[in-house]
Amino acid sequence: MSARVVAAWAVVGVPLVYGLVETINKASSLFTK
């Protein structure tokens, strides 16, 4: 897989992972509070 493809996936993947982590943290309160 070319470096260009990896870089392009990083551009969209990093924000998506950030959003997922933040949301999972928020959702965890459903089972802890």
Q: CA–CA separation, 25 vs 33, rounded Å?
A: 12
Judged by CB under 8 A, the number of residues near another protein is 23
Chain CA centroid to CA 29, Å: 19
Residues 14 to 33 in contact with another protein, rule: CB under 8 A: 15-16, 18-20, 22-24, 26-31, 33
Q: CA–CA separation, 10 vs 1, rounded Å?
A: 13
Say whether residue 3 binds another protein (CB under 8 A).
no
Q: Which residues bind another protein (CB under 8 A)?
A: 1-2, 4-5, 8-9, 11-12, 15-16, 18-20, 22-24, 26-31, 33
